Amino acid sequence: MYKVIIKVTLKKKILDPQGKAIESSLHNLGFSNLTGVRTGKNIEIAINEKDIGRAKTSIQSACEKLLANPVTEEFEYEIFDNDGTAVARFSTLHTQTKEPVG
Amino acid sequence: MAHKVGVVVFPGSNCDRDAFNAFGSVMNQKVEFLWHKETSLDGVDVVVLPGGFSYGDYLRSGAIARFSPIMNEVVRFAERGGLVMGICNGFQVLVECGLLPGALLRNAKLKFVCRQVYLRAETTKTPFTSALKPGQILKVPIAHGDGNYYADEATLKSLEEEDRIVFRYSTRDGEITSEANPNGSIRNIAGIVNKSRNVLGMMPHPERASEQILGSASGAMVLKSVIESLN
């Protein structure tokens, strides 16, 4: 049994009007140092599998088929075992970027 | 002879009755509802995916409805050349299932927009607009929160080159301006067809502008085109 936490966000090149609205509200509150607000979805799922490979395959496929829309969104996830230790990680960000990281 | 129009009903559809009325009472066709759990289209000549909030718009608008049992049949029907018309939530279902390209994002100003808009017919070379004059202006309502059409540059280029943009939001006089764009849709796009031109997706509601008593009858021309092309 594993648990996965999936994060789905709009691709960077797509305007996130919700993020913009939050950002302007933050600025109205005086947080002029906070910029680049982006929102997204957090999805938690229990995976009924003993084998981590199969667990990962299911989640990958679920993300591609249903949980994220490949036209507008990207996703990343982290799989945890029963003790809460992270045992696998994946991000679509890693597969598409040639830009320097960090 | 009356044709058979099938209106798919998902949990949360709310313009199914409008479509039923427009094709039935106004256009005098035979109409039937097709429950989303059906696995047969019952020999209909045209499929309408109506407006509404299927599955409460959970996850993304149309994302869950797209996996309803009946959608396998709708996709097969479309691939065989059958006429499929997705209005509002129906358009969202069609982009989610890949019958149409692009996506429908949250309206640029984040608000649900419910009002009459003007549309300019960009092509009459589709079974959905063949009864219109080129450039004809229609007055029809919109009612959506996620109608902001998006597609990448390559997709937009092919839509333009293949004459697949069917309607754009315009002023009353047919000018394409940003003021006339109610939701931020890229290039004011309000409706498109697939490559084979038998699948239409549009955010505005022609079925809710099919009689003068509803404020406008110009949407009836879209329904008339559909019926004429079946004759």
Residue-wise pLDDT tens digits, B127-166: 999 999 999 999 999 999 999 999 999 999 999 999 999 9
pLDDT in tens, B190-224: 999 999 999 999 999 999 999 999 999 999 999 99
In chain B, count H helices and then E strands. Answer: 5, 11
What letter does residue B93 receive in the DSSP assignment?
A: H
Instruction: Examine residue A32 and state whether it is found in any structural domain, yes or no.
Output: no
Note whether B150 contacts A21, CB cutoff 8 Å: no
Nearest to B103 among A17, A21, A69 (CB): A69
Nearest to A71 among B59, B102, B110 (CB): B102
Instruction: Examine residue A63 and state whether it is found in any structural domain, yes or no.
Output: yes
Q: Which residues of A touch B110 (CB under 8 A)?
A: 17-18, 21
Residue with tokens 């919109």: B142
Query: How near does any CA of chain B get to the CA of A24, in Å?
Result: 13
Comparing CA positions, the residue from B134, B88, B93 lying closest to residue B113 is B88
Note whether B150 contacts A72, CB cutoff 8 Å: yes
Instruction: Examine residue A49 and state whether it is found in any structural domain, yes or no.
Output: yes
Note whether A71 contacts B103, CB cutoff 8 Å: yes
Q: Give the pLDDT of residue A92.
A: 79
Instruction: Examine residue A22 and state whether it is found in any structural domain, yes or no.
Output: no
Q: Are A65 and A42 in contact (CB under 8 A)?
A: no
- What amino acid is encoded at A56 in this protein? K
Query: How many beta-carbon pairs below 8 A join chains A and B?
Result: 32
| ipTM value greater than 0.90 | no
Burial category of B175 from C-beta neighbours within 10 Å (exposed 0-12, middle 13-18, buried 19 and up):
exposed
Give the separation between CA A59 and CA A79, rounded to whole angstroms.
9
Contacts by A46-51 with C-beta closer than 8 Å and gap 24+? A46/A1, A46/A2, A46/A3, A47/A1, A47/A2, A47/A3, A47/A4, A47/A79, A48/A1, A49/A1, A49/A2, A50/A1
Q: Which residues of B touch A17 (CB under 8 A)?
A: 106-110, 184
Global pTM exceeds 0.90: yes
Q: What is the CATH number of the domain that holds A53?
A: 3.30.1280.10
Instruction: Examine residue A89 and state whether it is found in any structural domain, yes or no.
Output: yes
A1 touches chain B (CB under 8 A): no
Instruction: Examine residue A101 and state whether it is found in any structural domain, yes or no.
Output: no
Domain that holds residue A91: 2-14+40-96
Give me the domains of chain B, ranges plus CATH numbers.
Answer: 4-230 (3.40.50.880)
Instruction: Examine residue A21 and state whether it is found in any structural domain, yes or no.
Output: no
With a CB-CB cutoff of 8 Å, which residues 4-63 of chain A face chain B?
A: 10, 14-15, 17-18, 21
Instruction: Examine residue A47 and state whether it is found in any structural domain, yes or no.
Output: yes
Structural domains in chain A (count): 1
Residues of B marked active site are found at 88, 205, 207
pLDDT in tens, A58-102: 999 999 999 999 999 999 999 999 999 999 999 976 554 444 443
Query: How near does any CA of chain B get to the CA of A1, in Å?
Result: 25
* Helix, strand, or coil (residue A84): coil
Q: Which residues of B touch A42 (CB under 8 A)?
A: none
